[in-house]
Chains A and B, each alone.
Chain A
Amino acid sequence: QQQVKQSPQSLIVQKGGISIINCAYENTAFDYFPWYQQFPGKGPALLIAIRPDVSEKKEGRFTISFNKSAKQFSLHIMDSQPGDSATYFCAASNSYSGTYKYIFGTGTRLKVLA
């Protein structure tokens, strides 16, 4: 119940295309869902995050879509660019639990072809 399942494991997209990464969770107590972006040789960096009181959040070319009833959320990268090539991690947390824990997905390696 504590897992976050992320798919696909890897993704290849043409420049200008849409990249879609999906995550699913079981624990209905999760109420904070960040996405992290990690470039080779770097640590993860927060990209965008959402709470379940909204169904969508957009920041530039990055959009999180959230489906509370299905317990799924996804990251959409519009107009994907070669500079977006990185590994993306979804995560989930319970902000009322008093803990610091994120439950992370296993990551998606995105390659955007020029």
Chain B
Amino acid sequence: ETGVTQTPRHLVMGMTNKKSLKCEQHLGHNAMYWYKQSAKKPLELMFVYSLEERVENNSVPSRFSPECPNSSHLFLHLHTLQPEDSALYLCASSQEPAGDPTDTQYFGPGTRLTVL
């Protein structure tokens, strides 16, 4: 595997379910990100991890819970979601731990989440 991979690619869940999204980066990067992509809306930054430490929590509801066990893996744990949470969830990584915005972010293909 190369680049940034995400599993599953598609997920359908009920509002009472608990599920997790997984992201893995094979680039040796030090920062990882979760974004939400909804139709006709700008990409929304959700969380940022730098050197496995959460450095940004962009006013995301607590029903989304991130976890970064090491610099290569990032999870997004989901519970009691709402239908409006249906979206494409993108993971990204970048080289620099300090999160210089000029440091290119490499995105995974995303997980298409549908909440019924």
Contact = CB atoms under 8 A, between A and B. Distances in A.
A93 B42 contact: no
A93 B94 CA distance: 15
A102 B58 CA distance: 12
Interface residues of A, number: 25
Contacts of B98: 98
B102 A99 contact: no
A106 B102 contact: no
Contacts, number: 62
Contacts of B74: none
A106 B41 contact: yes
A22 interface: no
B27 to A, nearest CB: 13
B45 A101 contact: yes
A100 B45 contact: yes
B60 interface: no
Contact of B100 (A49, A95, A107): A95
Interface of B: 4, 31, 33, 40-43, 45, 48, 55-56, 58, 90-92, 94, 98-102, 104-110
Interface of A: 4, 9, 32, 41-46, 49, 89, 93-95, 97-107
